Amino acid sequence: MTLPAPVVTTDSPAQDPFAREWDRWHDAHEERRADPHGFLAVTGLFWLTAEPRRFPGLPGEWFTGVTGPVVVLAEDEALTVDGAEATGTHAFGPLAERGGVTVGFEGGVVEVAKRGGRDLLRPRRPDFPFLSAYTGTAAFPPDPRWRITGRFVRFVAPRAIEVGAAVDGLSHVYDSPGYVEFVLDDEPFRLLAFRGHEPGALFALFTDATSGVTTYAANRTVSFEVDEGSDAVVIDFNRATNLPCAYTDFATCPLPPAENRLGIPVTAGERTPERRVHAEVSAEGLVPRA
């Protein structure tokens, strides 16, 4: 799909290299967000149990147990798994926490994943109306003031930190190698950091005084890097982004730990989306509200 230009609260000066670089970064971020099989295309959230069940718009009967999710497909049903057609009974095996696989079906894909110790299904369809209507996320104008040099303080050993989730009754556990401390307007702050996907990559979930006012109430996230043997970090709050739960009730996003509730207004990064998918509870799980 062709995504309209992101909505920003003010035009960036054409001669400003900092603003131009931010524009390129945010354009790329919006393009990834609007992927035809991304989270804007999720059409439901279904939790698997030991009882075989069918779910709206998906082939097969699904269940799970200690050996992981299983789907039993009828004679006229199939899935595409790792590029090959799967028929009959297909066992996915035990899934890692925050892990999963994405398999194809006619008209879309379905994410088979584990969150908070529970296996789930999230169908994704490129023709989902919410995705086709998406026009971008507003953001504060990029401001070099919010690109801050800080210091990363390592724990002696990583700590397992439990945080809440956007879904009631669910929690997440993340390894934290330490925290980043920084000074803004002569006032010290710190953010507990979690490991990212690449070596040296970290991220912090946070709220601030704009949360629930001009930014999404539950959370935002900001990523940064630290080199081995160094404690210097740069936190660019201009690149603070919304998590999927800002856009859809079908997300299981983590909430910030108590340490990361900043008492100042961080007037940088992405703002509250104009629209979101609201869900209602059905016999199968969560489905879009009419």
User: What pLDDT, on a 0 to 100 scale, did the predictor assign at position 4?
Assistant: 40
pLDDT at 14: 54
What is the model's pLDDT at position 228?
Answer: 86
Specify the pLDDT at position 10. Answer: 43
pLDDT the model gives residue 229: 85
Quick check: pTM over 0.85?
yes
pLDDT of residue 277: 97
Average pLDDT over residues 12-34: 88
Domain spans of the chain? 44-124, 139-260
Nearest CA to 191 among 263, 266, 261?
261
Region 205-216: what's the mean pLDDT?
98
Least confident of 1-5, 65-69, 165-169, 171-175: 1-5
pLDDT of amino acid 199: 87
Give the model's confidence band at 9: pLDDT under 50 very low, under 70 low, under 90 confident, else very high: very low
Q: In this model, does residue 13 exceed pLDDT 70?
A: no
Question: Mean of the pLDDT values across residues 264-282?
Answer: 96
pLDDT of residue 265: 97
pLDDT digits (tens, 9 = 90+) for 245-258: 999 999 999 999 99
Assign 197 a pLDDT band (cuts: 50, 70, 90): confident
Q: Is the pLDDT of residue 3 over 50?
A: no
Mean pLDDT of all residues in 199-213: 96
Contact present, 40 and 128 (Cβ < 8 Å): yes
DSSP codes of every residue in the chain:
-PPPPPP-SSPPPTT-HHHHHHHHHHHHHHHHHT-TTSGGGB--BEE--SS-B--TT--SEEE--TT--EEE--TT--EEETTEEE-SEEE--PPPTT-EEEEEETTEEEEEEEETTEEEEEEE-TT-HHHHT-----BPPP-GGGEEEEEEEEEEEEEEEEEEBSSTT-EEEEEEEEEEEEEETTEEEEEEEEE-SSTTEEEEEEB-TTBTTTB-SS-EEEEEE--TT--EEEEEGGG-B--GGGTBTT--PBPPPGGGB-SS----SB---S--B-EEE-SSSEEE--
Q: Above pLDDT 90, what percent of the chain? A: 90
Q: Which residues neighbour 276 within 8 Å (Cβ) at sequence distance 6 or greater?
A: 246, 247, 248, 249
Mean pLDDT (whole number) for 182-209? 95
Query: Which whole number is the average pLDDT over 236-241?
Result: 98
Predicted pLDDT at 192: 98
Mean pLDDT, rounded, for 190-194: 97
**Per-residue pLDDT, 1:** 42
Q: With 50 as the cut, is the pLDDT of residue 203 above it?
A: yes
Chain segment 134-160, per-residue pLDDT in tens: 999 999 999 999 999 999 999 999 999
Mean pLDDT score of the chain, rounded to an integer?
93
pLDDT band of 198, cuts 50, 70, 90: confident
Averaged pLDDT, 101-115: 97
